[in-house]
Amino acid sequence: MNLPPRIGLITLACADVERMTKLFRQLGWPETPESDEHHRTFQCTNGVVIALYAASHYEREFGSVMPGFKGFTLAVNLASFEECVAVYETIKEIDGVEILGAPEEAFWGGGFSWRDPEGNLWDVAWARGTEIDDRGGVTFP
């Protein structure tokens, strides 16, 4: 069997799970009923779950979380550049968030990037020609 081309859960290894929990609550993301003080989980509209788990649980096997760019970004795709601007206005008011630039239009669409309190990079983007389904799933042309 081939590995299905989908991601169902993303776990962020956190130095401070409660600080990150506060961020997701401020973003208005719904916390799952199974979420607890050790393993917070947030349900995305497209079916993916974002989990917050203490980095210390991974350190024995994988080592410490590295500072700086971690080699990936998390992205939230939107249906228009105007939606990117509206989200920017909301996110820039959240404590602990570092905005990495104002929304900019580009040949591919546009958006902006930000860093959460744990240093993870996020993109908020609109890509020309993409379709967003009713669950928030993205289909590229």
**Rounded to two decimals, what is the model's pTM?**
0.90
Mean pLDDT of the chain: 94
Alpha-carbon distance of 40 to 96, in angstroms, equals 19
Residue 39 has pLDDT above 90, yes or no: yes
Contact 141, 130 (CB under 8 A): yes
Output the pLDDT for position 4: 86
Share of the chain above pLDDT 70, in %: 100
Please provide the DSSP assignment of 48-107 as one string: -EEEEEETHHHHHHH-PPPSS--S-EEEEE-S-HHHHHHHHHHHTTSTT-EE-S--EEET
User: Which domains does the chain possess?
Assistant: 1-59 (3.10.180.10), 69-133 (3.10.180.10)
Output the pLDDT for position 102: 98
Residue 21 has pLDDT above 90, yes or no: yes
